[in-house]
């Protein structure tokens, strides 16, 4: 299974599983990052330490460690 961090900028993906735990999982779910959610990957920082994504109408940035916890499918 691919991780969010493995997909290219410009891709649209579907969340399969959120592997975060505790408060981080709660925070990601509050942003709408849960199973079945569609995410658009907008851009990566130059060092790929953060990824900018769009969930619904909201744009946010995740650290690469956080993006590595999100399993996705349909990297297109």
Q: Hey, what are 11's tokens?
A: 């891709």
Tens-place pLDDT, residues 8-34: 999 999 999 999 999 999 999 999 999
Q: What is the pLDDT of residue 76?
A: 59
Q: What is the pTM of this model?
A: 0.90
Helix, strand, or coil (residue 5): helix
Residue with tokens 């920082």: 45
CATH topology of domain 2-73: SH3 type barrels. (2.30.30)
3-state secondary structure of 32: coil
The average pLDDT across 36-40 equals 95
What residue has token string 């709660």?
26
pLDDT digits (tens, 9 = 90+) for 55-65: 999 999 999 99
Confidence of residue 1 (pLDDT cuts 50, 70, 90): confident
């Amino acid at each position: 299974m691919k991780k969010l961090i493995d997909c290219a900028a410009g891709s649209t993906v579907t969340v399969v599983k959120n592997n975060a735990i505790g408060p981080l999982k709660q925070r990601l779910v509050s942003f709408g990052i849960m199973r079945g959610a569609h995410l658009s990957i907008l851009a990566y920082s130059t060092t790929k330490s953060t990824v900018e994504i769009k969930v619904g109408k909201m744009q946010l940035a995740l650290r690469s460690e956080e993006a590595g916890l999100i399993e996705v499918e349909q990297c297109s």
